[in-house]
Structure formats: structure tokens, C-alpha cells
Amino acid sequence: MAMTIHVDIVSAEADIFSGLAEIIFAPAQKGEIGILPRHAPLLTPLKHGEVRVRKQGGEEESFYVSGGMLEIQPHVVTVLADTARRAKDLDEAAAMEAKQRAEKLLADKQVAIDYARAQAELAEAMAQLQAINRLRKIRS
């Protein structure tokens, strides 16, 4: 029987694949690499592309990743897949957008926190909740 290596493909949002494989092909940043069992430990970013896993018995499964990280240890391969398309300028644009939303929100900018007001508001909400609880207890 062929030697096998354990493969985990995970993304931040879901567990994609976990199992044994004979060989894995992954689109590393400096070119596609094939990983056999007992590969030397390696850490590299991935480009977008296909991760192919040949499972025990020769059946092949492939997964599309839009990027991510690849970690190799002699008996375990971990693919940390990105769920979003990543690029420096894309990230930059997202950051700008987040800032603009905040600016819009604070059109009437009030920088210091009004602690007295915040506390009064919270105290009111808490009192309401407590009153509801009390009412519930009296009733039952």
C-alpha cells in the first residue's frame, strides 16, 4: 500500500477537506508543487488556483482556492485557504470604505465620550430589564 499523508484544508468560514492522501498538488507562490509523504517542513503562501488531492486508491479530488497559506510537515499538510479575493489594493479599498462609513456616521463629530450620558442610558435600559424580570416573578 502506498504511503499516505494527512491533509487538512480549512478556511476561516468552513472546514473543507480532511483525510489521507497519496500526493497533493498545490499552487505555491513560486510555482506549483507536488507534496509526497515525508516532505520537508515548508511554509509558503498560495496563489489562486487548484489544490488537487489524490486520495488513497487513486481517486482525485480538487478544490479551488483563491489564495492562502500552505504548511507542510512530514506527515501533515495544512492548507489555510482564503475565502475572499485578496490583493493589496483590494484590501486598501475595503479599509478606505470602512473609514468613510465611520465618517459619514459621525457627521456631527463628537469625539469625547459623554460618560455621564452613556451611563444614564445604560442604567435606564438595565432598569427596564430588571422591571420586566420582577414583573415576571410576581406573575408566576
Partner 1 sequence: MASGKEIRTKISSIKSTQKITRAMEMVAASKMRKAQDRMRKSRPYAEKIRAVIGHLAHAHPEYKHSYMIQREVKRVGVIVISSDRGLCGGLNTNLFKKALITLKAWHKDNIQVDMCTIGNKANGFFKRVGGRIIAQAPHLGDNPTLEDLIGTVKVMLDDYDDGKIDQLFLVFNRFVNTMTQTPTVQQLLPIIADTEHQQLQHHWDYIYEPESQEVLDQLLTRYLESLAYQGVVENLACEQAARMVAMKAASDNASNLIDELQLAYNKARQASITQELSEIVSGAAAV
Closest CA to 27 of 62, 74, 76: 62
- When binding is defined by CB under 8 A, the residue of 42, 48, 50, 56 that contacts partner 1 is 42
Reported for 16-19, long-range contacts at CB under 8 A and 24+ positions apart, including other chains, are 16/63, 16/81, 17/53, 17/61, 17/63, 19/53, 19/55
Report if residue 28 touches partner 1, rule: CB under 8 A.
yes
Q: Contacting partner 1 (CB under 8 A), which of 34, 91, 131, 134?
A: 91
Name the one range near partner 1 by CB under 8 A: 19-27, 47-55, 57-65, 72-80. Answer: 72-80
138: phi then psi, degrees, rounded to nearest 5: -60, -40
CA-wise closest residue to 81 among 7, 27, 32, 11:
11
User: Residue 135 CB, nearest distance to partner 1 (Å)?
Assistant: 8
87 binds partner 1 (CB under 8 A): no
Contacts of 39 (CB under 8 A, 6+ apart): 5, 72, 74, 77
Least distance between partner 1 and beta carbon 80 (Å): 6
Comparing CA positions, the residue from 5, 101, 87 lying closest to residue 47 is 87
What minimum distance in Å lies between the beta carbon of 113 and partner 1? Answer: 5
Q: Confirm or reject binding of residue 112 to partner 1 (CB under 8 A).
A: yes
Which residues of this chain interact with partner 1, rule CB under 8 A? 8, 10-15, 28-30, 40-45, 69, 71-72, 78, 80, 82-84, 86, 91-99, 101-102, 105-106, 110-115, 117-119, 121-122, 125-126, 129, 135-136, 139-140
